[in-house]
A = this chain, B = another copy of it.
Amino acid sequence: MERHHFETDLQALKNRLLNMGALVEERVHMAVQALMERNLEAAEAIARADEEVNALQIEIDDRCLKLLALQQPMASDLRLITSAMKINADLERIGDQAVNIAENASRMLAHPPLKPIIDLPRMAEMAERMTRDALDSFVRRDSTLAREVLARDDEVDGLKDTIFRVLLTYMMADPGTIERALALILISRNLERIADHATNIAEDVIFLVEARDVRHRHEEPAAP
Contact = CB atoms under 8 A, between A and B. Distances in A.
Copies of this chain, count: 2
A154 interface: no
Contacts of A168: 178-179, 182
Contact of A86 (B54, B69, B86, B179): B86
A186 interface: yes
Main secondary structure of the interface of A (DSSP, over half): helix
Contacts of A54: 215-216
A215 B58 contact: yes
Interface in A159-193: 168, 171-172, 175, 178-179, 182, 185-186, 189
Contact of A178 (B51, B75, B171, B215): B171
Interface in A64-107: 64-65, 68-69, 72, 74-75, 78-79, 82, 85-86, 89
